[in-house]
Amino acid sequence: MQQAEQTSAPATTPSRPGHGAERGSARTPQRMPDRIGTLLTLLLERPISLYAAAVLRIGYGFLYLAFLLREFPHRNEIWGPGSPWTPTLARQLFDQTGWVSILTLSDSRAYFEVCYAAALVTSALFMLGWRTRAVSVLFAVVVTSFHARAIYMTDGGDTLILLMVLYLVVTACGRRWSLDARRTRLRASAVKTDRLPLDQASGELRRHLRDARLTVITVLHNCGMLVIAAQVCFLYGSAGLYKVQGAAWGNGTALHYALNLDVFQPWPELSAMADEHDVLIAIACYLTVLLQVAFPFVLFGRLKYPVLTMLLGMHLGIALFLGLPLFSGAMIVADAAFLPDRFYRYLGQLWRLTTQRDVPRHHPPQHLGHQPLPPTRALPVPRGR
């Protein structure tokens, strides 16, 4: 994450004195304060990985929407008043654990249906990035409520989604690829000339207030993204280290057992077929442990790209073989947070090119300004200096 920001910095932050020192790495000890200063400027003034934050927003919004829709036939059984984990049991547990949920405020079925519908709408709006900050808070309330209500039906995927959704509240995840970004862009091009300059004194104060607000938002975002990165590292690190302690992972048979669990066998024929290749199973076991343990350590070098690619393959395998697409999806989205912004800008360009070629009639030129071009477009925070 940080690396991505540094490499793209020269294009967007022209000639800042401390910058050369940072890139040229500390050749002399005197440069150290300079480097810390640069890092601090980075932290205070430049929101890191805005595209990755947008990908997290879109990814988790989409996953939760898909989850809610998938469980539509079972909604009452999982979260509703008709669940075997009755509202009374849930409230009793909340008293012991401190969880809260809007779903236990009433035992009426109608109230539950309203909550469920509201959850669908909130997930969709969050995914689209409409009034993102406010909606992200609502979405966090929704996910927490549904998670807490059915705490004994959750798995690792649900936990990860909850954590990420909580962290996303403090990030500026609506700055890219969102309805908010679209509105800002349209307004900027429409009202540029209309805005009258304010009188001197109040204009100054307003500008200072705006700057202060921007700084705080930027720091919050950066801290949020760093916490997300640390969280994913903890996840992989501990998942890997716990596996190291297991005999089955050590002798390469763990996946044999995983493939033979009844409820994680959507395609029994496929599982049986994979199970026959004991050498491949053993290799996959070792690779899984190695990748998970290595994850936190490869993030700062180029090795992260092959590792992320292999993890993607691993999660697609889990989704298919074990029937855990929600869990795998949550992990894939989390991994995507580590891809640099220039990668996502490139994706945006690609997308623009294909849409341009395929359906030129449906997309008038002003519509195509969706994804900002990397070299020309300035960074999101116009700072008064």
Partner 1 sequence: MQASSEPPVVLKAAVHVAVILCLATALVHVLLVFLQVAPPNPLSRQYSRQVNAWVFPLFEQNWRLFAPDPESVNRQISARTMHTAPDGTVHVSGWFDLGAVDTAAVKHDPFPSHTSQNMLRRAWTSYLETHGGDDRPRSQRALMIQQYLGNIAVDRVAAHRTGAFESIQLRVITLPIAAPPAASGHSPGAAAPRPTDTRYLPWWKVARHATS
User: Can residue 85 be called a binding residue for partner 1 (CB under 8 A)?
Assistant: yes
Considering the complex, state which of residue 197 and residue 375 has its C-beta at the smaller distance from partner 1. 197
Residue 165's alpha-carbon distances to 91, 129, 147, 311, in angstroms, are: 23, 13, 12, 22
Considering the complex, state which of residue 181 and residue 333 has its C-beta at the smaller distance from partner 1. 333
Binding partner 1 by CB under 8 A: which of 36, 108, 187, 278?
A: 278
User: Taking phi first (over 0 means left), then psi (-120 to 50 degrees means alpha), and beta for anything else, what does residue 155 get?
Assistant: beta
User: Can residue 381 be called a binding residue for partner 1 (CB under 8 A)?
Assistant: no
What is the Cα–Cα distance from 177 to 334, expressed in whole angstroms?
A: 18
- Closest by CA to 316, choosing from 331, 336, 295, is 331
CB of 154 to partner 1, least distance (A): 7
Considering the complex, state which of residue 118 and residue 220 has its C-beta at the smaller distance from partner 1. 220
Considering the complex, state which of residue 152 and residue 346 has its C-beta at the smaller distance from partner 1. 152
Instruction: Say if CB 90 and CB 106 are below 8 A apart.
Output: no
Structure tokens at 4: 């991505």
Instruction: Say if CB 281 and CB 255 are below 8 A apart.
Output: yes
Binding mask 206-225 for partner 1 (x = CB under 8 A): -xxx-xx--xx--xx--xx-
- Please report the DSSP string for 154-195 in residue order: --HHHHHHHHHHHHHTTS-TTSSSSHHHHHHHHHHHHSTTTP
User: Can residue 148 be called a binding residue for partner 1 (CB under 8 A)?
Assistant: yes
CB of 263 to partner 1, least distance (A): 5
Q: How many residues bind partner 1 (CB under 8 A)?
A: 87
CB of 351 to partner 1, least distance (A): 26
Find the binding residues for partner 1 in span 281-310 (CB under 8 A): 281
Q: What is the CA radius of gyration of the chain?
A: 24
Find the binding residues for partner 1 in span 159-178 (CB under 8 A): 159, 162-163, 166
- Closest by CA to 236, choosing from 304, 309, 300, 293, is 293
What is the Cα–Cα distance from 150 to 76, expressed in whole angstroms?
A: 11
Find the binding residues for partner 1 in span 332-351 (CB under 8 A): none
**Residue 46 CB burial class (10 angstroms; 0-12, 13-18, ≥19):** buried
Structure tokens at 155: 């798995």
What is the Cα–Cα distance from 60 to 127, expressed in whole angstroms?
A: 7
Instruction: Say if CB 123 and CB 135 are below 8 A apart.
Output: no
User: Can residue 92 be called a binding residue for partner 1 (CB under 8 A)?
Assistant: yes
CB of 89 to partner 1, least distance (A): 5
Residue tagged 């793209």 (tokens): 8
Stretch that binds partner 1, among 117-125, 157-165, 340-348, 354-362 (CB under 8 A): 157-165
Buried b (16+ CB within 10 A) or exposed e, 273-288: ebbeeeeebbebbeeb
User: Can residue 36 be called a binding residue for partner 1 (CB under 8 A)?
Assistant: no
Binding partner 1 by CB under 8 A: which of 25, 28, 30, 96?
A: 96
Considering the complex, state which of residue 241 and residue 350 has its C-beta at the smaller distance from partner 1. 241
CB of 209 to partner 1, least distance (A): 7
CB of 6 to partner 1, least distance (A): 19
Find the binding residues for partner 1 in span 223-262 (CB under 8 A): 223-224, 226-227, 230-231, 234-236, 238-239, 242-243, 245-249, 251, 253-258, 260-262
User: Can residue 198 be called a binding residue for partner 1 (CB under 8 A)?
Assistant: no
